[in-house]
Amino acid sequence: MQWYLNLSVKVKLIISFSIVTILALIISAVAINSSINSFSVAEDIHWTLQERYGRINNARTGMTVVNNELADALYHQDSLNKAEEAFPAALKAVDALQTARFPKEIGAIKENTAAYFKIYTDSFKPLILSGDGAGAAEIFNRELMPRSRIIFENLTYVINNQLDEARGYADTLSDPTPTIVIAVVTAVALVFSIFIALFSASYINRNLRYVIGHAETIANADLSQEAKSRSKDEFGQLVDTFERMRQNLRWKMNHIAKQSEQAVQQITNVKQIAGSVQTAAKDTENRAITVAAASDEMVSTTQDIARNCETAASDSENSSQITQQGVQHLEASINGIHEQTEQTKNDARMVEQLVEQSKRIGAIVETIEDIAQQTNLLALNAAIEAARAGEAGRGFAVVADEVRALASRTSKSTQEITGMVETIQNDALAASESMQNSVNNMNELASSTQGLGDTLQEIISTVNNVHGQITHIATAAEEQTTATAEISTNMQSITTAAQSLASDASNAAAGVDQAVEMLRQVDLALGEFKL
């Protein structure tokens, strides 16, 4: 059983309930199997009595009706019609018989039924219709009756066997063996379940009493009794836990006893230190009063510094605003200089264009001068040719003189225009050079002015930095004032605390005496434990 003790309580319970469940399943399986067998037997009885017996009974009834009607037909011809009507049902019932269980008997029934119907059709019916009753009676007794006898004997045999089979099924249903098996299995399962329940309850109760006993031992301040576990399940773990708790308590109690002795010695030292603290607290009180007075004076001084810094910050802010306005005016002047420079550059470009135009005019005038000289030369040649022509060329000579005079005036005019163009070119060149010099001067002035603007921006930046530093100093002075005031307040609190500390040190000395007495009581209480 050691393997069972090593299992956990959970596994033990699971195994117990699993066994009970398996037994219940076995009982259920046996009962279900018995019910299934009973149902199968009942179904076989139903099939035998209703289906098989029904088919055989239908065949026997049909052949009985046919045979009786044919017997009556020997005396009453009307019965022949009734036999004709009964034959299809009888033949159908015989044909529905199955040869699986009784192949010999059912085969004989079907064979003789077919022969019976053939004899009726070929011999018996024609004789009846022809009025030969004696011949029909001979055929009936000699051929039809033996066939019907064989048919009824085999039908009776099959019916008796089916009834015997149904009785066997009924005997099976009344067999008490399944009930006995179920009762035995149920009794075994019940006994085993009771055994498992009693064993589990006894095991759990025994382990609980063992654990409770050790718990009561520890509760009675006896830490010398060792607890030994007898299993590895949860109860064994619980006993091991109690044992570790006992060992820890025992060790801690010993440790507390030793620490208590040391605490008595240390508290005695604390009492001496408390006296020193009381003396130091009085000295601290006197020094704190001196520091508080100095702190009040520092508060007044830092407040004056903060006010002066606020005034300086306001002045530096005004200076920054004035300088900023000067920079704005200077930037406007620089923009005007740049605009004037651009305008002068445009004028210089126009003068240069004028010089170019005057050069083109000079070239045109030179061309006209060349044309005038050539015209004058041609007019002179024409006059010479006219003189050679004599009287005939006089009119042409007059025209030549006029042309030469016109060429001479044109040459003079072009010379005057050339002089004027040269004067314009010289003036335009001088104006262009003057404008270029003006543009250079304006650029230098703009550069100088831009440098002045940068200088003013640096001045503004410097003033802003100074303003920020002054503001920072003012803020720091205010914070210093607040801190100094807080220091003064804290020093007053320290003074009060020092006074309270001196009082507390005196009280601590009294408390130490009480602590020593309490530790002695602890030693007495620890002495009650059995370690």
Regarding whether 343 and 469 lie in a shared domain, the answer is yes
User: Based on the domain organization, do 174 and 320 belong to the same domain?
Assistant: no
Lookup result for tokens 């000579």: 397
pLDDT higher than 60, residue 313: yes
Task: Report the pLDDT averaged over residues 296-305.
Answer: 68
How many structural domains is the chain composed of?
2
Boundary residue ending a domain (147, 173, 200): 200
Are 343 and 477 contained in the same domain?
yes
Residue with tokens 């149904």: 166
Q: Report how far residue 442's alpha carbon sits from residue 450's, in angstroms, rounded to the nearest whole number.
A: 12
Task: Name the more confident of 510 and 306.
Answer: 510
Is the whole-model pTM more than 0.75? no
Residue 299 lies in a domain: yes
Element of type H or E holding 61: helix 53-73
Q: Which residue type occupies 188? A: V
Residue 403 contacts residue 375 (beta carbons within 8 Å): yes
- What's the confidence (pLDDT) of residue 4? 66
71: CB partners within 8 A, 6+ apart: 140
In 3D space, the residue among 218, 94, 209, 219 whose CA is nearest the CA of residue 158 turns out to be: 94
Residues 306 and 450 in one domain: yes
CATH of the domain at 21: 1.20.120.240
Question: Could you tell me which residues are beta bridge partners of residue 135?
Answer: none
**Domain end residue (candidates: 154, 183, 200):** 200
Return the SS3 of 526.
Answer: helix
pLDDT in tens, 247-277: 887 788 777 777 877 766 776 776 677 677 5
The Cα 238–Cα 240 span in angstroms is 5
Quote the mean pLDDT of the chain. 78
Amino acid residing at 145: M
What CATH number has the domain bearing residue 392?
1.10.287.950
**Amino acid found at 155:** L
pLDDT per residue as tens digits for the range 488-506: 687 677 668 767 766 776 7
**Residue 528 counted as domain residue:** no
- Does a structural domain hold residue 257? no
| Residue 470 and residue 305 in contact, taking contact as beta carbons nearer than 8 Å | no
User: Residue 95 domain-assigned?
Assistant: yes
Q: pLDDT tens digits for 129-140?
A: 998 989 999 999
pLDDT at 65 exceeding the cut of 90: yes
Residues 327 and 472 in one domain: yes
- 93 is written with which tokens? 């019932």
How confident is the model at residue 301, as a pLDDT? 65
DSSP 109-144: HHHHHHHHHHHIIIIIHHHHHHT-HHHHHHHIIIII
- Asked if residue 473 has pLDDT above 60, the reply is no
Interaxial angle between packed helices 234-389 and 394-526, expressed in degrees from 0 to 180 and rounded to the nearest 10 = 170
User: Hey, which of 125-134, 208-217, 390-399, 428-437 has the most confident mean pLDDT?
Assistant: 125-134
The last residue of a domain, from among 180, 200, 220: 200
Lowest model confidence (mean pLDDT) among 21-25, 66-70, 72-76: 21-25
Please name which of 36, 87, 42 lies closest in space to residue 63, comparing C-alpha atoms.
Answer: 87
pLDDT score, position 502: 66
- Which pair of structure tokens corresponds to residue 33? 């199997």
Same domain membership, residue 303 and residue 175: no
Tell me the pLDDT tens digit for each residue of 326-379.
668 767 866 876 787 788 678 778 767 876 877 787 787 788 778 878 888 887
| pLDDT of residue 288 exceeding 70 | no
Assigned domain for 529 exists? no
Angle between helices 53-73 and 145-173 (to 10 degrees): 160
HSE (CB half, 13 Å, CA atoms) of 116? 26
Place of tokens 């050539």: 374
What confidence category does residue 107 fall into, taking pLDDT thresholds of 50, 70 and 90?
A: very high
For residues 193 and 297, state if they share a domain.
no
Q: Do 391 and 495 sit in the same domain of this protein?
A: yes
DSSP annotation of 487: H
Instruction: Tell me: do 191 and 290 sit in the same domain.
Output: no
Read off the pLDDT of each residue in 379-407 and give the average, rounded to a whole number. Answer: 79
Query: In terms of pLDDT, which residue wins out, 194 or 298?
Result: 194
The verdict on 305 and 181 lying in the same domain is: no
Examine residue 100 and state whether it is found in any structural domain, yes or no. yes
Report pLDDT digits (tens) over 25-54.
887 787 677 667 655 655 655 555 557 788
Q: Give dist(CA 531, CA 513) in Å, integer.
A: 29
Name the CA radius of gyration of the chain, rounded: 75
Domain annotation covers residue 215: no
pLDDT above 70 as % of the chain: 77
The structure tokens listed for 324 are: 């900023």
Three-state secondary-structure class, residue 530: strand
Interatomic CA distance for residues 175 and 38, integer angstroms: 10
Any domain includes 321: yes
- Alpha-carbon distance of 522 to 256, in angstroms, equals 9
What residue numbers bound the domain in which 302 lies? 286-499
- Least Cα distance to 468 among 304, 326, 301, 320 occurs for 320
Instruction: Single out the residue of 175, 186, 164 nearest to residue 34, CA to CA.
Output: 175
Whether the predicted pLDDT of 172 surpasses 70: yes
